[in-house]
Amino acid sequence: MYSDTFLATQWTDGVITSSASLPSLVSAMLHLLDVHDGQQVLEIGTGTGYNTALLCHRVGDTRVASVEIDPTLVDDARDQLAGLRLEPLLVAGAGAPQAGPYDRVLSTCASPGIPAAWIEQLADGGVIVAPFTFGGALAKVTRTGSGEVSGWFDTEHAWFMPLRPAGATGPAGLLVDLPDPAAPAAIHENDSTVDLDTLQDPDFRLWLCLHLPEARLVPVVSDDLSAHTGLIVHTATHRADYTIDADGQGRVIQDDRRLWDTVEAAWRAWHAHDAPSRERIGITARADGVQRAWLDTPDSGVTWPLPL
């Protein structure tokens, strides 16, 4: 039976480690990829092989490569695809198989930046479509003659499981537990001018992630789950708790790391730049590891390093 839902297809230690993505998102990402006849295509994250089959249908199986870190999944996908008489190049591992250059790279796992191997194996003029680990961001970048890739975040929101490092056997270790509140002596309490509406705006959340790449954002909801009442921003060792009181005033309790001061600064900057939507944020990345996001133009002066 077909439905527009994502399907978890593998669990490891209670964490989803493979899935068939939401069909409407698969379709939106394939549109963004804009594949043409005769192009060589690389998929990152074979999983079930479903998306691989769609790519084979578009350009022919001899032009498709797909890499999957879990060798068991590669074997299963190979069997499934063989049943459709498709024999793309399936590789167990990470990075990009050396069968490039590729005209198109489609990642189906999230990354904090663009891995060097994908840029190195991309043809000049080639396109990478990749989801990021923060803010539900999805980027489309194109390789220029100088070997750099540059492009923009898309309007589409894409939440994908994180890319596992080469050799990893378990789930990616991106999840960080909420630390306990700090000892009272290290606590700062203050009012906040940040409003809840802005905090709930997905484009502001992406903006905030760029300012605080090491932090996680945890929404606080009312007891009956009907309304958002605050936000916890935390790293592995520090936290700031923001809540709205009965008078509608935002209040913050934060420890010495003062994460909320950065939230306030990001909020002021976001409004000063007319509440930028995600399509106003671009990315430039080089295979040598220099990667950054920027607002409007690469030299606008509003820029953030990407933590690859």
Ligand X SMILES: C[S@@+](CC[C@H](N)C(=O)[O-])C[C@H]1O[C@@H](n2cnc3c(N)ncnc32)[C@H](O)[C@@H]1O
Q: Which residues are part of the catalytic machinery?
A: 21
Say whether residue 118 binds ligand X (CB under 6 A). Answer: no
Sign of the CA dihedral running 117, 91, 84, 12 = negative
Single-letter residue type at 136: G
Say whether residue 16 binds ligand X (CB under 6 A). Answer: no
Give whichever of 80 and 142 is closer to ligand X, judged by the CB atom.
Answer: 80
Stretch that binds ligand X, among 40-48, 125-133, 174-182, 259-267 (CB under 6 A): 40-48
CA distances from 49 to 65, 88, 105, 118, 203 (A): 11, 10, 15, 20, 32
Say whether residue 133 binds ligand X (CB under 6 A). Answer: no
- The Cα angle at residue 87 between residues 83 and 89, in degrees rounded to 5: 140
Say whether residue 25 binds ligand X (CB under 6 A). Answer: no
Say whether residue 91 binds ligand X (CB under 6 A). Answer: no
Give whichever of 19 and 291 is closer to ligand X, judged by the CB atom.
Answer: 19
Give whichever of 24 and 144 is closer to ligand X, judged by the CB atom.
Answer: 24
Single-letter residue type at 242: Y
Say whether residue 244 binds ligand X (CB under 6 A). Answer: no
In the complex, the smallest distance separating the C-beta of residue 142 from ligand X, rounded to whole angstroms, is 22
Tell me which residue of 156, 153, 154 sits closest to 282, measured CA to CA. 153
Output the six-digit token pair for 134.
């923060």
Give whichever of 8 and 186 is closer to ligand X, judged by the CB atom.
Answer: 8
Say whether residue 20 binds ligand X (CB under 6 A). Answer: yes
Site for ligand X in 97-116 (CB under 6 A): 108-109
Q: Can you tell me the distance from the alpha carbon of 121 to that of 52, in angstroms, rounded to the nearest whole number?
A: 18
Stretch that binds ligand X, among 65-73, 174-182, 185-193, 264-272 (CB under 6 A): 65-73
Output the six-digit token pair for 88.
């793309």
Interface with ligand X (CB under 6 A), residue from 35, 64, 73, 293: 73
Site for ligand X in 185-214 (CB under 6 A): none
Interface with ligand X (CB under 6 A), residue from 35, 39, 65, 68: 68
Sequence-ordered list of residues with C-beta below 8 angstroms from that of 34, at least 6 positions apart, any chain: 104, 127
In the complex, the smallest distance separating the C-beta of residue 33 from ligand X, rounded to whole angstroms, is 13
Phi first, then psi: give them for residue 41, nearest 5 degrees.
-125, 135
Q: Can you tell me the distance from the alpha carbon of 213 to that of 62, in angstroms, rounded to the nearest whole number?
A: 39
Interface with ligand X (CB under 6 A), residue from 35, 39, 40, 45: 45
Strand partners, 217: 233
Say whether residue 70 binds ligand X (CB under 6 A). Answer: yes
Using DSSP, how many helices (H) and how many strands (E) does the chain show? 7, 17
According to DSSP, residue 165 is labeled: P
Give whichever of 69 and 252 is closer to ligand X, judged by the CB atom.
Answer: 69
Interface with ligand X (CB under 6 A), residue from 63, 140, 143, 164: 164
Give whichever of 116 and 253 is closer to ligand X, judged by the CB atom.
Answer: 116
Output the six-digit token pair for 144.
């220029």
Q: Can you tell me the distance from the alpha carbon of 301 to that of 297, in angstroms, rounded to the nearest whole number?
A: 8
Say whether residue 19 binds ligand X (CB under 6 A). Answer: yes
In the complex, the smallest distance separating the C-beta of residue 286 from ligand X, rounded to whole angstroms, is 20
In the complex, the smallest distance separating the C-beta of residue 287 from ligand X, rounded to whole angstroms, is 17
Q: Are 45 and 20 in contact (CB under 8 A)?
A: no
Question: What H or E segment, with its residue span, contains residue 241?
Answer: strand 239-244
Residues contributing to the site for ligand X (CB under 6 A) = 17-21, 44-45, 47-48, 50-51, 67-70, 73, 94, 108-109, 160-161, 163-164
